[in-house]
Homo-oligomer: A and B are copies of this chain.
Amino acid sequence: MNKNCNARITIGRQFGSGGRQIGRAIADALGIDYYDKNLMTEAARHAGLNPALFEQKDEKAPSFFSGLLSYNMGYSAYNLLGSTSSITDDALYRAQTEVIRSLAEKGPCVIVGRSADYALRDRDDVVNIFIHAPIEERIKRIMERGDASTPEQARQLAEKTNKLRAGYYNFYTDKRWGKAESYDLTLDSSLMSTEDIVELIKKYIELRNK
């Protein structure tokens, strides 16, 4: 662990902006822990929580909200019948919040997604970052990593995923996803190499720690 870095760094990101890759690179550069959905599942298992709770495809607001977003989650009947799936969603959110808090308690780290900024809002060692990029760049990246085979498919996937992330964030926090004022620092990832973004964020953390 880097003795100069005490920060718990949270990263929100547009789908396809490379935010996760940047998060990993920051953790490597600072020699601190890195967590995203996969590692949080692992952490939940170790903590004795049901990891199935974390095996969702992406951040999602409760299902009645997802319904508003016209997202077919495969249990629409529940939406009509009552709050069964909402209860599950809330349990998932509470479990995630607990896991995020205990990971942050362990030491400096980078946590990507899951409104980690809000889960950690009472700590004073948190740095909240948001990564975005122009849609053309995101489409390119989404296709390069094989998540879509046509630009139109990539665009739709980006739009749908960002809607879900925004719905999740706006539902569970008192802030707005993607608005500058919700974060300490936001960056357009298309204007610099990942290496240079990491250098800038290191500089930012160094200045914050002064």
The interface of chain A, by Cβ under 8 A from chain B, is 14, 130, 132, 134, 178-181, 183-188, 191-192, 196, 199-200, 203-204, 207-208, 210
Other than the given A14-B181, A185-B187, A199-B203, 17 more pairs (CB < 8 A) read A132-B180, A178-B179, A178-B181, A179-B179, A179-B180, A180-B183, A180-B186, A183-B186, A184-B191, A185-B185, A185-B186, A191-B208, A192-B208, A196-B207, A196-B210, A199-B207, A203-B203
Q: Which residues of B contact A192 (CB under 8 A)?
A: 207-208
Query: How far apart sit A178 and B200, CA to CA, in the bound complex (Å)?
Result: 22
Contacts of A204 in B (CB 8 A): 200
Residues from chain B with a CB closer than 8 A to the CB of A200 are 200, 203-204, 207
Residues in B with CB closer than 8 Å to A132 are 180-181
Provide the bound-state CA to CA distance between A178 and B207, in Å. 24
Q: Bound state CA distance, A31 and B153, in angstroms?
A: 47
A and B contact pairs by CB, cutoff 8 A, 16 listed: A14-B181, A130-B180, A132-B181, A134-B181, A179-B179, A180-B180, A181-B188, A183-B188, A184-B188, A185-B187, A186-B186, A191-B208, A192-B207, A192-B208, A196-B210, A200-B200
- Cα distance, A14 to B196, chains bound together (Å): 28
The residue in chain B whose Cβ has the minimal distance to the Cβ of A185 is: B187
Chain B CB within 10 A, most for which of A180, A199, A203, A210: A180
Bound Cα distance A168, B179 (Å)? 18
Report the bound CA distance from A134 to B187 in whole Å. Answer: 19
| In the complex, chain B residues whose CB is within 8 Å of the CB of A196 | 207, 210
A196→B183 CA distance, assembly (Å): 18
Specify the chain B residue showing the minimal Cβ separation from A199.
Answer: B207
Which 10 residue pairs are nearest across A and B when measured between Cβ atoms? A180-B186, A196-B207, A186-B186, A132-B181, A180-B180, A203-B203, A184-B188, A130-B180, A132-B180, A178-B180
